[in-house]
Amino acid sequence: GNREMSAKLVELQKQAQMISMAGHKGSFMEVESQKFYHAPWDAPRLVYELTEGIERTAVTIFNEKGERVADLSGPTKAGRNEVVWDGKGFKGETLPEGKYRFNVQMFGKEDKALVDEEGNIVTAKHKSMMRVTGVKMVSGVPTATSYDLDFPMSSVTGLSAEGVIDLEKKDSKDEKAKVEKDDKDLDRILDEALDELGLDTDLAISGNGFFVVGKVGDPSDTSPQEYSYTRSGSFVRDSEGNLKNTAGYYLQGWRTDEKGEPIATNRSTLSNLETIKVSQVSGFSRPSTKVDLAVNLKSDADLNDTYDVNIEVYDSLGIAHDLKFTYERTQIDPMEWTVSIECEGAAQVLQDNALGGAYNNVVIQFDENGMPQTFDGGLNPPAIHIIWDNAETSAADMTLDLNLGTVGEADGLVCRGTAYNIISRDQDGIRLGNFTGVNIDEEGVVHALFDNGETRKIYRLALANFANPNELEEKSGNVWTQTDQSGGYVLYYAKTYGVGRIASRALEASTVDISSQLTDMILTQNAFSANAKVIQKSKEMLDDLKAL
């Protein structure tokens, strides 16, 4: 129907994007990202936007560990600015190839850093320009790659042929291997783009197995299930969310846990199979369990100066809450600060657990190099235990592990220099996401997809095999049933015991349902005939009108 055609057109558009992007391999792409990939032979460009009145910019480079590795002075004109990093560190040494990120701090009159209403440092809008080294599909999303970094094509804001290089002819074997790592299957991807423009629920088996299908799709229907076997994998979602083929047979599989393992302990009988029903999946979220903060506190801050850092965390219901950290300078020498934590919607924020004290004025001591020396007298800060206000939410109370870095290291909280800076903040919770579709991998695991980027394993397809499949009895609708001569069924996972792997968005050409195709052809012919009669009748009426 229209829904199926629309889905195929969307898939065609995605594949066209990939083919187009593949043509830009070796050229620059501009991406809305602070992250970039540094290769000694291929310097990236760091792009940022400035408003009027900026007197100075400080471009800071960080490695994957969050360590500050280089400082650059960038242009300050209003509008678009670019700076090329040569990959050198503070001492002029060439830094190793890998993933880096940057931010651009802005200074106005009297060399004062720009801050927002809450006192947080304001950074410029970031973009990066890097080589296109390959393209691929990631969870159904067309994705461009630059060495070891992936970027959804929706984040690519521009392409430039300037400085195009032949990535395949680079002298270094290591460099070529890295490019090929991202792009080794490009030809295969483009072939599939032309051959597999089906739905995500169009399936084929590259092996000897059969899909197990049944005539009963409603679990409340007490009628005995009539099992059959087919190689025809053209399945679509019906109005109830069941995967059903054009002949009215429902796809069967095992319900799984979140790891993709079937819940049923006996997987050798058909009676433990269920109709694959994707509509049973609603929203999906994940509560936060840890918070990572990297902040630079001013070493010349006055006594009782305070700085706030805010980060969103998610409760067991998928609802976001603002977690606020307040750092206060309490001693000049030796350097000492305290941290206190508040949370929106919380009745109490405690240390470690429900029996801990309030998370107020936890002492952090720094050494003479500005590195953390102790967190509350130990090597790690106390965990954050949140007791929610029952008048605000019914979510379960939660405990968050707090990572402020390593004692003696510059990989988290530090107290150095004269500028306060939030280097990074992260947490592992996921907001509530709505179900958007399914993806079936080559092992037959059915993944539910959500608009928050998460996936969840919900079913695993069962593939059947027989000692003598040529003796199965053929029925209408491209299905077969077991006979004494075929031998009994044996159920397997895909990619085991020769039953084959599952190819998603593909159909086996030999399984075309002739009766279905003839029915569609007759319907089309009847519609054409009806339209022709309407046109003929309209012409006759117009002729009669002219004759008056």
pLDDT in tens, 365-410: 999 999 999 999 999 999 999 999 999 899 999 999 999 999 999 9
Surface-to-core class of residue 464, CB atoms within 10 Å of its CB (0-12 exposed, 13-18 middle, 19+ buried): buried
Would the pLDDT of 340 be above 70? Answer: yes
| Ramachandran assignment for 98, one of left (phi > 0), alpha (psi -120 to 50 degrees), beta (any other) | left
Most confident of 78-92, 133-147, 333-347, 446-460: 333-347
Q: In this predicted structure, what is the pLDDT of residue 20? A: 63
DSSP string computed for 345-400: TEEEEEESSTTSPBS--EEEEE-TTS-EEEETTBSSPPPEEEEE-TTT--PPPEEE
Residue bearing tokens 């300037």? 162
- Report the C-alpha dihedral over residues 378, 384, 385, 387, rounded to 10 degrees: 150
Nearest CA to 138 among 460, 508, 449, 456? 449
Measured CA to CA, the distance from residue 307 to residue 269 in angstroms comes to 63
In 10 A of CB 349, how many CB atoms? Answer: 20
Measured distance CA(202)–CA(211) in Å, rounded:
12
Q: What is the pLDDT of residue 313?
A: 96
Say how far apart CA 149 and CA 182 lie, in whole Å: 9
Tokens of 383: 């965990």
For tokens 């629920």, name the residue: 201
Instruction: Report, as an integer, the average pLDDT of 200-228.
Output: 86
Give the chain's mean pLDDT: 82
Please tell me the predicted confidence (pLDDT) of residue 176.
47
CA distances, 420 to each of 35, 101, 109, 119 (Å): 22, 19, 17, 9
Residue with tokens 């040494």: 93
Instruction: Give the chain's domains with CATH numbers.
Output: 34-132 (2.60.40.4070), 203-283+436-504 (no CATH), 290-427 (2.60.98.20)
Q: Write out the two tokens for 414.
A: 């530090």
More confident residue, 324 or 543: 324
What pTM did the predictor assign?
0.50
**Residue 50 token pair:** 């400035």
Give the whole-angstrom CA distance, residue 499 versus residue 152: 34
CB-side neighbour CA atoms (13 Å) of 351: 15
Looking at residue 505, the DSSP 8-state letter turns out to be T
The dihedral built from the CA positions of residue 169, 171, 174 and 175, taken in this order, carries a sign that is: negative
The helices-and-strands tally (H runs, E runs) of the chain is 4, 40
pLDDT of residue 282: 72
Distance CA 343, CA 318 (A): 15
Burial, 286: exposed, middle or buried (Cβ in 10 Å; 0-12, 13-18, 19+)? middle
Chain-centre distance for alpha carbon 301? 40
What pLDDT, on a 0 to 100 scale, did the predictor assign at position 337?
Answer: 97
The CA-based angle 313-318-324, given to 5 degrees, is: 20
- The C-alpha atoms of residue 458 and residue 93 are separated, in whole angstroms, by 50
Higher-confidence residue of 224 and 19: namely: 224
Which pLDDT belongs to residue 8?
60
Q: How confident is the model at residue 312 (pLDDT cuts 50, 70, 90)?
A: very high
Q: What is the per-residue pLDDT for 230?
A: 95
End-to-end CA distance of the chain: 45
Torsions phi, psi of 3, nearest 5?
Answer: -65, -45
CA angle 367, 372, 376 (to 5 degrees): 110
Contact 486, 467 (CB under 8 A): yes
More confidently predicted of 437 and 427: 427
pLDDT of residue 170: 47
Q: Is the bond preceding residue 75 a cis peptide, omega within 30 degrees?
A: no
pLDDT for the residue numbered 191 = 43
536: number of CA atoms within 13 Å, CB side?
6
